[in-house]
Amino acid sequence: MEIPRHWRLQRQRYNLVGEQCECGEKIFPPRDICPNCHQSGHQTEFKFSGRGKVYSHTTIYEAPTGFDEQAPYPLALVKLEEGPLLTAQLTDLDPTKPIQIHDKVEMVTRRLKIDGDPDRGLIVYGPKFRPVFGQKQ
């Protein structure tokens, strides 16, 4: 990732900042056109709570470039309380309590990868989700 792009996306990644359209649709990541009403220019900034539920999950064994050293790692589709679905790695898992669909999770900011040289590259942080055990619905 280029350094200017990294800085541009920093608020969005670290704080889960998306948009809310006039029609009420909450959008993450931000888009030019609302996927619900197909209008543009009617969105305002919206900060998501970072809480949600596991919608689906899997384990990645053959990781894409840049994530090879982390494999195998758990990946989930998380449905945020406010509605949007996002794909994110799971972290802080308890090996005695496997993750289940509908388990509650919360966002944490963690290292995603290192771009470039492992000794001098840009460390990229972003959202991961950890379980909030004992709070199933």
State both tokens at 29.
Answer: 């990541």
pLDDT tens-digit map of 10-67: 666 667 888 999 999 999 888 889 999 998 888 899 999 999 999 999 999 998 887 7
Nearest to 25 by CA among 40, 13, 49, 43: 43
Nearest to 103 by CA among 74, 133, 80: 133
Q: The whole model's pTM is what?
A: 0.79
pLDDT tens-digit map of 55-99: 999 999 998 887 788 889 999 999 999 999 999 999 999 888 889
- Whether a cis peptide bond, with omega within 30° of 0, leads into 84 is no
Q: Which residue bears the tokens 């919360």?
A: 106
Q: Spell out the domain ranges in the chain.
A: 3-131
